[in-house]
Amino acid sequence: MLAAVACALPALALQAPAPAAPQSAAKPRLAVREVAATRGVVAQAKARGFDNALDQVLEAADAQLLDAFDGEGAFELVARGDLGTVIKEQDLSLSGNVNAMDPQAARAYQLAGARFVATVTVTNFQEIVERTVLPGQFGNANAERRTIDVQAVVKVYDTTTAALLKSTNVTVSEFATNEILAGVEQTGSKTNVVLGTAARTLAEQAAARISAAAPAASPALATPAPAGTGMSGSLPTRPMRLAIFVKQRPSQVPPEKVTVFEDLVAASATAPNIEIIRREDLVNAVNRLAPTGPNAGTGLPGSEAVDRILSDQSSAVQLATLMKADALLTVSISALQNAVRNLEDPATRTMTKVEQWTLMTTYGVIDGVTGASLGSGTVQSDFANRDSAGLQVKVDFIDPLLRDAAARIGPAAGAAVARAAERTAAAPAQVKVAFDALLSDLSVPDVRKDEKGEYVVGANLYPLRPMSVQVIVDGVTVGQTPGAYELRPGMHRVRFERPALEPVERVIDAREGLVVTAPMQFTPEGRANWQRDAAFFNDLKNGAVARDVDLIRIRGIADFLRQSDIRLDTTGVQNLNLGGESIWWQLLGP
C-alpha cells in the first residue's frame, strides 16, 4: 500500500504523565495576509485609468507591511504573502535534487501555524492629478500636484474561533508636486514618489493598528512541553523492567507492521534505568525472528504450536508478571484515517492537493505488582502528501506514522515507569501455592496379606493420584504435580494437563499456604480401558480371599498404573501395615 507522503508532525503534543516544568508565556503568532483591494475599488480604478497606480500601492504596502512591525512587538509574525515562493522551495527539496540531510533544506508540511490572522483591505482609492501653468521670468513653467488618497479596513481574527478581535479604519492622504521650468525637458514624473510614500504610510498605520489588537500573552499559547523525557528523581537501585505488548485494531495496518511497531516502541522506551523485556525475545521460538535464513528452523509445527497456545491461554498482564516485569506497557493501534484537501488560493497564487493520513494510537502503563494504571494517553501522528503542478512523491506512509508514534510513546512510558519504581520496594512477597491432582471417582479396594499368607479384600478404598500433571499458570507451565510454586498474590488461572486425562481449569486466589487439588478424569478412551480392566473389583467383597486369578488381574492393573505414572493416594490411611501389608503397597510403592 503505497502513497506519496512526507512527515507533518501534529501540533498536539503527547500528554506527559509527569508534570511539566512551568513554561514562560509565548508571543501569540500572527499571519499577515497579502494587502488587497475590494473588487469595486479595482473596477473603479480600471475605469478611470489609475489601476496601475493602485497596483503599485498595494504591492509596495504588502512588501513593507512586515517590516513596519516593531521588532519587539507583541506578535510573532509569519508571512503569507510570499507563500507561493516558499512552497516552490519545499517542492524542490522533495524532488530529490536537494540533499535531504542538509539541516538548512526546506521542510515541507512544517509551516508555522498562526493563532491570529490580519487582513488589510483597501476600500477606497483615489488618484488626483492637478496641473497648472505658472508664468515666470523666463517663460511659463508647467506645475503638477499628484495626490493619493487611500482608505482601508484593518481586521484581526482569532483563527480558532473566527472571533473578530479588532476592526479599524486607516486613512492615508499623500501628495507630491513637480514643476517643470520653461525650456526644460523631463522624462518620467517626480510625482511618482507619492505612490511609495502612500504605500509606506499605509503599511505603518496598518501595522500599528494590528499591534494594538494583540491579546495578552497567555500560558495557553506557550510552547507545549515535550512528552515525558524519562524517569525523574533519583534512580532506583536496579533498572525497572518494562514488558511491551502491542494490539492491532485497523485492518489497514498489515500484521507484519505490528512487530515493527513493537521494535520501534522498545527502542524509544529503552533507557539506562529501564530494561525492556519482550515476549518475542523471551518465549517465542527463534524461527519467529525471521522466516528465512539461519533462524528459519526445521519448519516443524511444534514450536509454533507452543507460541499459539501461549497467545490463547495467557493474558498480557499475567505473562508480564511471569516475565518478572515491574510494569507493563500496552500500545494499541486504534485507527487509521485518510483525508484529502484541495487548496486553490488566488491571493497566494498557490494550488495544491494534500492527502493526509492520521494514525491514532493509545497507550497504557500498568503496575506489574498492583495492576493499577500508572499512566495512559493518546497519540495522533499525521503524514501527508502534497501534489503540485511539478512534483509528485510516492512512499509507504505506514512506517513514518508508526515511527512518529513510537518516538513519542517511549519517553512518556518511561516517565510513567518512574512511578512504578516507588512501589517496587513495598511490593508484596510472592506466596507459595501447592498443587496436586486426583483421579475423580476412581479407586481400588484394599487387598492385604494376612497371617495365613492369604490375600484378603479389605474395607478401605484407595483413591488414585496421577503424577507429573503439568501445572500451567496464566498460560505458562510452572511445574508438575505434586509440587509447590511461588506466585504473585491475587487471581490466577490454573490449568492441569496430562496425556490420557481431560484437562482441568481453575481460577484461584493465590495466598500463602494454599493447596489446590484438581479432580481429573480419564479421556473417554482411557476411561473405557480402565472400566474394562477393573470391572472385577465390583465382585470383590469385603473379607473375601482373593483367588490366584484375582491376584493376576490386580498385578496387571498395577502394571498399567505404574506405567501410567499413577500412584495410590494414602494420605487418608493412618497405618498402611495395620492388619497386614497391602498388595498395592508392594506393587506400586508410596
- DSSP string across 161-203: T--EEEEEEEEEEEEEEEEE-TT----S-GGGHHHHHHHHHHH
Gap between the terminal Cα atoms of the chain: 66
Q: Is the pLDDT at 502 greater than 80, yes or no?
A: yes
551-582 as b/e, with b when 16 or more CB fall inside 10 Å?
Answer: eebbeebbeebeebebbbbbeeeeebeebbeb
Range 259-275 average pLDDT: 86
CA distances from 134 to 138, 143, 192, 316, 420 (A): 11, 7, 21, 99, 94
Distance CA 347, CA 252 (A): 38
- DSSP string across 319-367: HHHHTT-SEEEEEEEEEEEEEEEEEEETTTTEEEEEEEEEEEEEEEEEE
- Structural domains of the chain ordered from first start: 28-216 (3.40.50), 240-292+304-424 (3.30.160.150), 433-588 (2.60.40.1120)
Q: How confident is the model at residue 13 (pLDDT cuts 50, 70, 90)?
A: very low
Write down the pLDDT at residue 2.
35
Q: Is the pLDDT at 223 greater than 50, yes or no?
A: no
Helix (H) or strand (E) holding 516: strand 515-520
Decide: 327 and 368 in contact? Cβ < 8 Å.
yes
Closest CA to 174 of 123, 124, 126: 126
Q: Is the pLDDT at 367 greater than 60, yes or no?
A: yes
Model confidence over 177-202: pLDDT tens digits?
876 655 556 655 777 888 899 999 99
pTM over 0.75: no
Distance CA 506, CA 490 (A): 14
Model confidence over 389-408: pLDDT tens digits?
777 777 788 889 999 999 99
Model confidence over 426-451: pLDDT tens digits?
555 688 999 999 888 778 888 888 77
Written as one letter, the residue type at 75 is F
Helix (H) or strand (E) holding 449: strand 443-449
Model confidence over 522-569: pLDDT tens digits?
888 877 777 776 777 777 776 777 777 778 888 888 887 887 788 877
Q: How confident is the model at residue 515 (pLDDT cuts 50, 70, 90)?
A: very high
Decide: 80 and 32 in contact? Cβ < 8 Å.
yes
Distance CA 7, CA 384 (A): 6
Distance CA 236, CA 271 (A): 13
- DSSP string across 115-148: SEEEEEEEEEEEEEEEEEEE--TTS-EEEEEEEE
Q: Is the pLDDT at 28 greater than 60, yes or no?
A: yes
Decide: 152 and 121 in contact? Cβ < 8 Å.
yes
Range 357-375 average pLDDT: 83
Pairing of strands 490-497, 470-473: antiparallel
Written as one letter, the residue type at 281 is D
Helix (H) or strand (E) holding 378: strand 373-387
Model confidence over 338-356: pLDDT tens digits?
888 887 777 666 778 888 8
- DSSP string across 384-395: EEEEBTTB---B
Residues 6+ apart with CB under 8 A from 242: 269, 274, 275, 276, 277, 325, 326, 327, 328, 329, 413, 417
Distance CA 60, CA 54 (A): 10
Indicate left, alpha or beta for 159 from its phi (over 0: left) and psi (-120 to 50: alpha): alpha
Residue positions counted in the chain: 590
C-alpha cell at 509: 486466589
Distance CA 35, CA 123 (A): 11
Residues 6+ apart with CB under 8 A from 449: 455, 456, 580, 581, 583
Model confidence over 95-137: pLDDT tens digits?
777 787 788 888 877 788 888 899 999 999 999 888 787 766 5
Please provide the average confidence, as pLDDT, over all residues in the chain: 76
| Residue 560: φ, ψ to 5° | -60, -45
Helix (H) or strand (E) holding 399: helix 398-424
C-alpha cell at 335: 485507527
Decide: 211 and 74 in contact? Cβ < 8 Å.
yes
Instruction: Round the CA-based radius of gyration of the chain to a whole number and report it.
Output: 43
